[in-house]
Amino acid sequence: MTTRKSRSTAQSAINRLELGEHPDLGDIQSWIEAKNGRPIVIGELSTLRGNDICGLWFLHEGRDYVLHAPLNSSWHRQYIILHEFAHMILGHRCTPTSQRLVDLPGFPGGPIQVLGRVSFEDEDEAATELLAGLLMERLSQARDLPSDPAGFSKVFG
Ligand SMILES: [Zn+2]
């Protein structure tokens, strides 16, 4: 569901981003890291299968983790990461009801809290998707690549 409100939310969010002329994924990452004052760790999680959930974002011991399913396409991988970045840029820091506990391999100390996939209002998820699309466009312009070669417009966790 795309509404005027989610469109303007996404648009004003990207207008506030201070990115250089030719930003890459790392520039967006640095911008978020500076804003939130903590590092972001991006990694692949082989147990994510991609048909249900392609990416997730959570805070663990002072770091933001963005994990994605193993993907063949670097374009797809970038899109998933940008979707999670968009949640961060929009300030979707979890409320208790938007979190669920999951067990992740490699993270000792028991289950950790991640964003619940169905936790957001449609409006928030729509704004996230739109912002991810706008970010994708910025990166594509910088590299002169087609912005949506496969026609992806799906919503990921
Ligand atoms: Zn999402």
pLDDT digits (tens), the chain, 157 positions: 568 999 999 999 999 998 888 899 999 999 999 999 999 999 998 877 666 667 888 888 889 999 888 888 888 899 999 999 999 999 887 666 666 777 777 777 777 777 765 545 678 888 999 999 999 999 987 665 555 555 444 444 4
In the reported structure, the alpha carbon of residue 27 is separated from the centroid of ligand 1 by a whole-number distance in angstroms of: 21
What are the backbone dihedrals phi and psi of residue 100, each rounded to the nearest 5 degrees, phi first? -135, 160
Those residues whose C-beta lies under 8 Å from the C-beta of residue 130, and which sit 6 or more positions away, are: 2, 6, 7, 9, 10, 11
CA of 140 to the centre of ligand 1 (A): 21
Which stretch of DSSP H or E encloses residue 71? none
* Entry pTM: 0.81
Question: Cα(83) to centroid of ligand 1, in Å?
Answer: 6
Residue 87 CA to ligand 1 center (angstroms) comes to: 7
- 119 Cα–ligand 1 center, Å: 9
* Rounded Cα gap, residues 80 and 93, in angstroms: 18
